Structure 1
Amino acid sequence: MGTISAFESVTLDGVMQGPGRPDEDTRGGFRHGGWGVGHADEVTGRFAGSGMARTRALLFGHRTYDDLLRHWTSVAGPNPFTEALLNQRKYVATRDGGARLAYPNSIPLAGEATETVARLKTEIDGVITVIGSGELVRALHRAGLVDEYVLLIHPIVLGSGTRLFGDGDGDGDGGGDGGGGRADLVLEESVTSTTGVVVARYQVK
Structure 2
Amino acid sequence: MRLTVNTFLSIDGVMQGPGGLDEDPSNGFDRGGWLVPLADEEMDRLVSGWIRQADALLLGRHTYEMMQPYWELVTDPSDVVAESWNHLPKYVVSSTIIEPTWHNTEVISGDVVRTVAALKAQGHGELQVHGSYQLARALYNAKLVDEFRLLVFPVVVGAGKHLFEDGAAPSSFMVTGSHVTRSGVVALSLLPREFAVAEMLRKGKG
Smaller-chain TM-score range?
Answer: 0.7 to 0.9
1:26 aligned partner, one-letter code:
P
After the TM superposition, which residues 8-157 of structure 1 pair with which residues of structure 2 at under 5 Å, given as runs?
Answer: 8-74=7-73, 78=76, 80=79, 81-96=81-96, 99-157=98-156
Q: 1:177: which partner in 2? A: none
User: Kindly, what percent of the aligned residue pairs are identical?
Assistant: 35
Contact 2:173 2:191 in 1 (8 A): yes
- The two structures have a TM-score, normalised by structure 1, of 0.87
Contact 1:43 1:192 in 2 (8 A): no
Contact 1:95 1:112 in 2 (8 A): no
Q: 1:188: which partner in 2? A: 176
* 3-state SS in 2 of match to 1:6: strand
* 3-state SS in 1 of match to 2:184: coil
- Residue segments in structure 1 that go unaligned for 5+ positions in a row: 169-179
After the TM superposition, which residues 174-185 of structure 1 pair with which residues of structure 2 at under 5 Å, given as runs?
Answer: 180-185=168-173
Question: When you count helix as a share of all residues, which structure comes out higher?
Answer: 2
Displacement of 1:189 after TM fit? 0.4
Give a deviation string over 1:21-49, Cα, whole Å, max 9, x none.
Answer: 11111122111011111322232222222
- Residue segments in structure 2 that go unaligned for 5+ positions in a row: 194-206
Contact 2:14 2:159 in 1 (8 A): yes
Displacement of 1:20 after TM fit? 1.3
* 3-state SS in 1 of match to 2:189: strand
C-alpha root-mean-square deviation of aligned residues, in Å? 1.7
Q: 1:175: which partner in 2? A: none
2: CA distance between counterparts of 1:38 and 1:86? 27
Give a deviation string over 1:96-152, Cα, whole Å, max 9, x none.
Answer: 4x6211110111122121111111111131111100000100111111111100000
| Corresponding residue to 1:202 among 166, 172, 190 | 190
2:21 aligned partner, one-letter code:
P
1:35 aligned partner, one-letter code:
W
Give a deviation string over 1:75-109, Cα, whole Å, max 9, x none.
Answer: 6x84713222101111112234x621111011112
Contact 2:71 2:86 in 1 (8 A): no
- Provide runs of 4+ in structure 1 moved above 3 Å: none
